[in-house]
Structure 1
Amino acid sequence: MSTQRRRVPPGRVGRLWLDRHLATAQRGADLLERKLRLLLDRERAERQAAADAGSAWREELAHADTWLMRGLLLGGEQALAQSVPADRARVGVEWAALMGVHHPAAVTWTAPVRSPAEPTPPNTALAHAETAYRAAVHAAAEYAAHQAAAELLAAEAQRVRHRVRALRRHWIPQLRHELALLELALEESEHEEAVRRRWAASRGAM
């Protein structure tokens, strides 16, 4: 507190200084609270999207495992090895920014391509398993992207929340206290000046 007093200019200049800094602090707190609301809204949306993608991932994975077991019973492990394409799936992540927070915004998915020379799954069960596993991998990528976005947004929201708390609970009350003390000092000074003037006027009239 004493450090803050030493920084404040004396007199009416100090009152203007405090008024300006108080207005800036209040405006900053309002803007940060708006940012916090936007971050929390997006975080909730990302967590819901992650929950939906996670459910789809687990459902497709269980579905694929069921078809895989059927396919193995029909054709054996050799049939599975022969039907796996040499190409691999490719996943890309597109990034966006919200209030300065860079986070995953979308997932691009490219399924593996089987060349004409490669054999296709020898039975229907393995074909269904392949389709389901591709959907599961896609859903897993979506889940990971939404979950990462939610965590990044939550971390920034926590930082903003701390800054708002510091402004609302410490900096703004400190400025108001300093302003009240300075205004009281100015009132006392003006009152003393008025008394001196009246005394001087009464002395001059004698």
Structure 2
Amino acid sequence: MADTGRAGRVRLERRLTVARHGADLLDRKQRILADELERLKIVASHSDARWQDLAAVAATWLRRAAALDGRAQIAATAPRVPARVEVTWGGAMGVAFPLEASGMSIPPTTAGGSSALSFAVAAHAEALEAAVEQAVATRAVQLVSAELAATRSRLHAVEKRWIPRLEDRLMAIRRALDALELEESLRLRWAAGAAGADARPSVRSEGS
């Protein structure tokens, strides 16, 4: 049913209040997520740098081990089961994202080979931990970035489309009601004037 008349004006005023309140909440959410995203980007940048450094060290020791022990010995040293890790999740303003990785369990390797191979194993274990931390930080940035983009889109829709549309409709109803009230006022004044004229006694001329 179209919003018309005084009841329609009240409904639109309420909807406009809700829309403005929603815009305030979305703006607050946007600012909080933007701050959180900035923090997460710093964490991701640091974790990426650490992973890159440790991966380079692991690659260096792997080349040395390959030269001394050969690829067959390296393959024989590799663990037979995958590593395991626990990821702790957190959240901000309704969006969940991973916070940190902990409790990493790296299976033991088969003994043997040169000292370079032992250093390569240790270096790869440390690089793996750094890689997991970097993956956690990167995923957190992705999730918060997506939610921030969606929040900004919703805020733009509310501020630029929904609220102006409600304001225009409310203004139209107010103008229509003002015109109606003016018309009623003029009609009442006309009716009052006509009634006063009818109530005045007629004056008869002399000699009639």
SS in 2 for 1:7: coil
Find the counterpart in structure 1 of residue 163 from structure 2: 172
- Answering whether residue 139 of structure 2 is matched by residue 148 of structure 1, we say yes
Find the counterpart in structure 2 of residue 29 from structure 1: 23
- Answering whether residue 191 of structure 2 is matched by residue 189 of structure 1, we say no
**TM-score scaled to structure 1, two decimals?**
0.82
- Answering whether residue 99 of structure 2 is matched by residue 105 of structure 1, we say yes
- CA distance in 1 between counterparts of 2:161 and 2:81 reads 60
- CA distance in 2 between counterparts of 1:141 and 1:175 reads 49
Q: Which deviations, in whole Å up to 9, do the C-alpha atoms of 1:5-55 show, x marking residues without a partner?
A: x521x2211111111000111111111121122222222222222221111
Q: Which deviations, in whole Å up to 9, do the C-alpha atoms of 1:129-167 show, x marking residues without a partner?
A: 222211111111111111112112222222222211111
SS in 2 for 1:114: coil
TM alignment of 1:132-147, pairs within 5 A: 132-147=123-138
**TM-score scaled to structure 2, two decimals?**
0.82
- CA distance in 2 between counterparts of 1:177 and 1:170 reads 11
Pairs aligned (count)? 197
Find the counterpart in structure 1 of residue 10 from structure 2: 16
How many angstroms does 1:72 deviate by? 4.3
Gapped regions of structure 2 (runs ≥ 5) = 198-208
How many angstroms does 1:73 deviate by? 4.3
Query: Which of residues 7, 17, 20 is equivalent to 2:2?
Result: 7
SS in 1 for 2:106: coil
Write the letter of the residue equivalent to 1:198. R
Q: Percent identity?
A: 36
- CA distance in 2 between counterparts of 1:77 and 1:202 reads 111
Q: Which deviations, in whole Å up to 9, do the C-alpha atoms of 1:53-78 show, x marking residues without a partner?
A: 11111110111222333344455556
- Answering whether residue 35 of structure 2 is matched by residue 41 of structure 1, we say yes
- CA distance in 2 between counterparts of 1:66 and 1:196 reads 96
Gapped regions of structure 1 (runs ≥ 5) = 1-5
Cα gap change, 1:11/1:81 in structure 2, threshold over 3 Å: closer, same or farther? closer
- CA distance in 1 between counterparts of 2:76 and 2:146 reads 46
